[in-house]
Amino acid sequence: MRARVSDPFERRRRLGWAVAAVWLFFLGDPLSQAWHADNTVARHLGILALVAFAVTYVLSFRLMRAIPPESEAPPLPLRLGLIAAMLGLGALAVPGAGESALATLVYVAAAAVMLLPGRQRIAAVGLLAAASVTLPAAVPGWSADTGLVFGIVVASTAVFGMTKVVERNRQLLRAYEEIARLAVSEERSRMARDLHDILGHSLTVVTVKAELAGRLLPDHPGRAASEVADIERLSREALADVRSTIRGAREVTLAGELASARAALTGAGIDADLPSAIDEVPGDRRELFGWVVREGVTNVVRHSGARRCTVHVGRDSVEVVDDGRGPSSALDGSGLAGLHERARAAGARLTVARAGPHGGFRLRVELAPPAASMRA
């Protein structure tokens, strides 16, 4: 049986009452006073009021501590109602518990700090501290107790610190969730970009070869069969590339993309002028340059209507140029957007422009040369 991993907020819901209930033993004196009250009605009323007070106090703490980080706090009228109910129940305990019922003010102050926002909690604690001083002076037979004021201040400060810890934990968890969400979004974008680039190129070549095979079939069935065999091979390679991308193991090489580009351009009837050597290209740039060649040649075959395509590869740049129609709205898709993201991540600059005054298309990615080479 698989063990269940519990949610920390679920544990807080189950244990939040215990955090508040552990301090209820301070109600022992008022409860004892009510239990020994001479008046039966006052005795029963005091005991019931103190029990109800304890339950309300625990529920108020559990209410606030059980809120998930993505949720808003309960409505303010509900929170004020809980505080008012605690004050009322504390007042009902007075006939049976007498002056000792003022101990409930400490709990009300702690609950007010937990339930109220900002300055309202400060005002509530101040009023309760003042009440703990003025009530004994106003009621005959009661005596002032400075320890009660001290208890209100200490309890309020302790709960305030606890609320700050809870708030910080909520903020931290929200930050973790946002980081996880962004990581998932980034991974989805990467996979979408890679799949687009891989399938776009592969399907373009497959389409070109299928058209060529169809033209060759009546008069040159042998060559048509060879093109069909290439289509099968390319389809299998595309499937393998998709699987590698999903596993995160897809690798693009400049040499491989140049070879694929030659096959795609030749199949489309476009003269290909490609570099025969790439030795001067640093190894850490070859993957990016491979993506540029893939995307550029795919666009040439798909959209350009060109008769010739030239690829220039240097140490710091790669360029794909054709003599076709030039830039068009058909190029404003996710392919160039994905290539722009790759270039930006590598610290390179992507340029899309007309190749010359008579048309054509130029796709160029250039990295800044090393600082040493820029010195006079």
Residue where one domain finishes, among candidates 144, 177, 193: 144
176-181 average pLDDT score? 74
Split into its structural domains, the chain has a count of: 2
Residue 32, domain member (yes or no): yes
Residue 183, domain member (yes or no): no
Alpha-carbon span 305 to 323, nearest angstrom: 8
Q: Which of 205, 195, 204 is nearest to 245 (CA)?
A: 195
Residue 284, domain member (yes or no): yes
Q: Collect all residues with Cβ–Cβ distance below 8 Å to 243 and sequence separation of at least 6.
A: none
For residue 318, the SS3 value is: strand
CATH number, domain with residue 288: 3.30.565.10
Neighbour count for residue 121 (Cβ, 10 Å): 20
Do 13 and 139 belong together in one domain?
A: yes
Residue 17 has pLDDT above 80, yes or no: no
Residue 364, domain member (yes or no): yes
The token duo for 48 is: 């019931």
Residue 72, domain member (yes or no): yes
The token duo for 294 is: 């893939």
Residue 90 identity (one-letter amino acid)? G
Instruction: For 272-285, write each residue's pLDDT tens digit.
Output: 899 888 888 888 88
Which range of residues forms the domain containing residue 117? 8-144
* pLDDT tier for residue 334 given thresholds of 50, 70 and 90: low
pLDDT above 70 as % of the chain: 79
Alpha-carbon span 354 to 309, nearest angstrom: 14
Alpha-carbon span 25 to 135, nearest angstrom: 23
At 311 the pLDDT is 93
CA distances from 15 to 62, 73, 115 (A): 8, 19, 18
Alpha-carbon span 48 to 42, nearest angstrom: 10
CB 107 within 8 A of CB 89: no
Q: Are strands 348-356 and 359-367 parallel, antiparallel or unpaired?
A: antiparallel
Do 260 and 138 belong together in one domain?
A: no
Number of helices (H), then strands (E), in the chain: 11, 5
CB 245 within 8 A of CB 202: no
Residue with more model confidence, 50 or 238: 50
Do 257 and 132 belong together in one domain?
A: no
Residue where one domain finishes, among candidates 110, 144, 178: 144
Residue 247, domain member (yes or no): no
CB 323 within 8 A of CB 306: yes
Alpha-carbon span 122 to 102, nearest angstrom: 19
Alpha-carbon span 79 to 115, nearest angstrom: 6
For residue 317, the SS3 value is: strand
Residue 203, domain member (yes or no): no
Alpha-carbon span 82 to 60, nearest angstrom: 7
Residue 151, domain member (yes or no): no
Residue where one domain finishes, among candidates 94, 129, 144: 144
For residue 117, the SS3 value is: coil
Neighbour count for residue 21 (Cβ, 10 Å): 15
Residue 160 has pLDDT above 70, yes or no: yes
Angle (CA) 52-56-62 rounded to 5° is 145
Residue 3 has pLDDT above 80, yes or no: no
36-63 average pLDDT score? 87
